[in-house]
Amino acid sequence: MSDVLDPTPYDALLLLSFGGPEGPDDVIPFLENVTRGRGIPTERLKEVGEHYFLFGGVSPINEQNRDLLAVLRKDFADHGLDLPVYWGNRNWAPYLTDTLRDMVRDGHRRILVLATSAYASYSGCRQYRENLADSLATLRAEGLELPEVDKLRHYFNHPGFLEPMIDGVIESLADLPEDVRDGAHIAFCTHSIPNSAADTSGPVEEHGDGGAYVRQHLDVSRLIAEAVRERTGVDHPWQLVYQSRSGAPHIPWLEPDICDHLQERHAAGVPAVVMAPIGFVSDHMEVIYDLDTEARAKADELGLPVRRSATVGADPRFAAAIRDLVVERAATERGQQVTPCALGALGPSHDLCPVGCCPARAPRPAAAGADSPYA
Ligand SMILES: CC1=C(CCC(=O)O)c2cc3nc(cc4[nH]c(cc5[nH]c(cc1n2)c(C)c5CCC(=O)O)c(CCC(=O)O)c4C)C(CCC(=O)O)=C3C
Ligand SMILES: [Fe+2]
């Protein structure tokens, strides 16, 4: 037990996640929640439904969030951080609005949000903030007094997020047959998003091709690859690649796709590939289907040895990183000087998303940012 840590002015932490189905009857309603107003072709929806049915209609994401919740609560208790942790989802029970209502009824007035998405982008940041705004609007309509809601900064470059992934890549390399191990390439994998969404991700003045989304992922890839080289003594070539593309085929999304990449690497004579899903915080459906099932089948067909490294999940180092981020943000809000912890070339991300950060196609109110109507 160390010194007491001060969460003031915050009185609760909200773990905000995507949510997933927990049985076959949940799959279609879940997909309807996810895709409402998003213009996803019906064919793609049917196909994605099949991914879930292959696993009995159960996404592992909720169980993974329950695990993370338990590890966060234990970490906070062990380190004298007196801050209750709640959990709510965008697309499935426990729904964000219900959790926020519980939090208000429990008397919480200053809520800090941890989203299970480490990077900038509309899908990974503003969409969560829009959902927070929607929930706050509902609570206001119910006559409840609204709490103040802030969101933790992007944590892609926090050592507590990187360390478990570095270990994971090293373990995957070690698991490859010895004769192909040293020649293995690393494919850092993340969710493909429309090029237009990538280009406009992050604060406006920093926009370049691929925006903050691609730059943050490239920084993480390089940091992990360098750490792996230092610790194994082998320099493994790497590339950032994409997965889980949806949307209409004529709209450009980030490429190359992992399956095309495996084919290209194999044709180039690369003896093995480690797929490292740096874009995701846990081994949910995008990982166990798109990588472990689909990309794995492609690799088997090619006769290319592949391994898939672990995401951070409920690693205690990730929980410690969250504690660090909470304590840092609380001190900042109290007006104290802090030294935010971040590795790599980009430095710590902003605490408050500026106006127009990660814009939506059709503007909607978003909470916990400089353009929040609830500030
Ligand atoms: C950047 C990003 C993350 C990472 C950041 C984060 O974690 O938030 C992420 C996570 C996730 N995405 C998930 C599931 C889905 N995403 C979809 C659709 C889409 N995702 C997009 C982007 C992202 N998605 C985009 C641009 C679309 C197109 C539609 C739109 O513009 O909105 C669809 C609809 C069908 C399809 O088109 O694939 C599903 C079912 C699950 C749950 C998995 C589980 O159940 O275990 C998780 C964690
Ligand atoms: Fe998604």
Rounded to two decimals, the ipTM of the complex is 0.96
Cβ–ligand 1 contact at 49 (below 6 Å) = no
Cβ–ligand 1 contact at 283 (below 6 Å) = no
- Sign of the alpha-carbon torsion through 23, 27, 30, 34: positive
Q: How far is the CA of 96 from the centre of ligand 1 (A)?
A: 17
- CA-closest candidate to residue 123, choices 49, 47, 34, 203: 34
51 labeled binding residue: no
Q: How far is the CA of 5 from the centre of ligand 2 (A)?
A: 35
User: Tokens 């500030």 belong to which residue?
Assistant: 375
Q: How far is the CA of 193 from the centre of ligand 1 (A)?
A: 9
Cβ–ligand 1 contact at 164 (below 6 Å) = no
Cβ–ligand 1 contact at 191 (below 6 Å) = yes
- Give the ligand whose atoms come closest to the C-alpha of residue 217: 1
Q: Are strands 306-308 and 110-115 parallel, antiparallel or unpaired?
A: unpaired
* C-alpha neighbours within 13 Å on the C-beta side of residue 38: 18
Per-residue pLDDT of the chain (375 residues; tens, 9 = 90+): 457 899 999 999 999 999 999 999 999 999 999 998 887 888 888 899 999 999 999 999 999 999 999 999 999 999 999 999 999 999 999 999 999 999 999 999 999 999 999 999 999 999 999 999 999 999 999 999 999 999 999 999 999 999 999 999 999 999 999 999 999 999 999 999 999 999 999 998 888 899 999 999 999 999 999 999 999 999 999 999 999 998 788 999 999 999 999 999 999 999 999 999 999 999 999 999 999 999 999 999 999 999 999 999 999 999 999 999 999 999 999 999 999 999 999 999 999 999 999 999 899 999 999 999 997
Which of 26, 34, 214 for a ligand 1 pocket mutation test, highest count of atoms within 8 Å of Cβ?
A: 34
pTM of the model: 0.97
Cα–Cα distance, 306 to 316 (Å, whole number): 27
Would you state the torsion angle of the CA atoms of residues 257, 188, 164, 337, taken in this order, to the nearest 10 degrees?
-110
Cβ–ligand 1 contact at 20 (below 6 Å) = yes
Compute CA distances 274 → 185, 188, 224, 286, 298, whole Å: 6, 8, 12, 16, 14
Cβ–ligand 1 contact at 217 (below 6 Å) = no
Spell out the domains of the chain, with CATH numbers in brackets: 12-155+314-333 (3.40.50.1400), 159-308 (3.40.50.1400)
Contact 118, 154 (CB under 8 A): yes
In the prediction, which pLDDT does 1 show?
45
In the prediction, which pLDDT does 345 show?
96
Cβ–ligand 1 contact at 132 (below 6 Å) = no
Given the CA of residue 285, which atom of ligand 1 is nearest to it? 46
Nearest CA to ligand 1 atom 29: 38
Q: How far is the CA of 210 from the centre of ligand 2 (A)?
A: 18
Cα–Cα distance, 321 to 318 (Å, whole number): 5
286 labeled binding residue: yes
128 labeled binding residue: yes
Cβ–ligand 1 contact at 129 (below 6 Å) = no
Strand stretches in 159-279, DSSP E:
185-191, 238-243, 273-276
43-55 residues labelled b (16+ CB within 10 A) or e (exposed): ebbeebbebbeee
Given the CA of residue 35, which atom of ligand 1 is nearest to it? 34
Cα–Cα distance, 310 to 301 (Å, whole number): 23
Cα–Cα distance, 229 to 182 (Å, whole number): 11
Cβ–ligand 1 contact at 124 (below 6 Å) = yes
